[in-house]
Amino acid sequence: MPSTTSKPKLTILTPSFNQGRYIEQTIDSVRVQDYGPVEHIVIDGGSTDGTVDLLRRYPHVNWISEADRGQADALNKGLARATGDIIGWINSDDYYEPNIFTSVMQCFEDPVVMWVVGNLTYVREGAGEMTPDKSPPVSFNLLMHNPDIVRQAPVFYRKSFVEQAGGWNCDYFMAMDFDLWTRLAKLSPPRMVDRNWAYFRIHPNQKTSHANVIRQKKEIVTILRRERAHWSLIASLFLRKRWYWAKGLVKEYLIAAGLHGKVSPTKTNTT
């Protein structure tokens, strides 16, 4: 951390679009934490569901509401506004575990630590189910072998580190978190913390619902190609997932990824 007498500031970024049903819980999960100073920036994409009226009720929240080019664009807007030393990113339908910010900031007392990853709990709306998930270890090589290790919500970064990596890439609509992680991991691996830090809500209207799964995987393939991953790693991304075994779906993905004829739809290459 910078060698100053004042406590370092934490900035939380929340991109939002028509999540008025959930965002109040997100805001409250930041507001009642055990640490200060904390800055909360909400970057709304022009919601029409009452989100803006709700934001007006929270004078401590720094917010804007305007059209954007997607979540990555919103996050970059927030990054440009952020005045904190450390940043976190929590979506407007997710929320933080109470009383974690002090322990988060203590991690950054070690000047070697550039980013930290905690654990996540999945919350299934309507079912009352909560499923704890321990975040797996993260490194560049592990990301190349298994992009599914990304857990976005329980992660905090030095602002300067994200800026050094170039921020979020607006070319990606779904995989902007995986893209950022690959660039960060090449610079420095994160510190892993075995404590629940956030809750990820599963609901029918979320961006990460099934409708966007195909787009996400295509974007991940593009990133893996950029990082020169082996064909077998790209193929295994699709072939090991249960939902890809629907009739004709594997072939569709292989064609879209430019892999059709290069790998077998029944097994991955071993070389």
Q: What pLDDT digit, counting tens, does each position of 189-209 carry?
A: 999 999 999 999 988 766 555
**Same domain membership, residue 140 and residue 39:** yes
In this structure, the answer to whether residues 170 and 193 fall within a common structural domain is: yes
The answer to whether residues 13 and 79 touch, using CB atoms and an 8 Å cutoff, is yes
Q: Are residues 198 and 214 in the same domain?
A: no
- 136 and 241 in a single domain? The answer is no
Q: Which of 24-33, 109-118, 147-156 has the lowest mean pLDDT?
A: 147-156
The reported pLDDT for the residue numbered 180 is 97
Band of residue 184 on the pLDDT scale cut at 50, 70, 90 = very high
Domain extent, residue 14, equals 10-202
Does residue 249 sit within a domain?
A: yes
Q: What is the pTM of this model?
A: 0.82
Q: Is residue 82 part of a domain?
A: yes
Q: Are residues 80 and 41 in the same domain?
A: yes
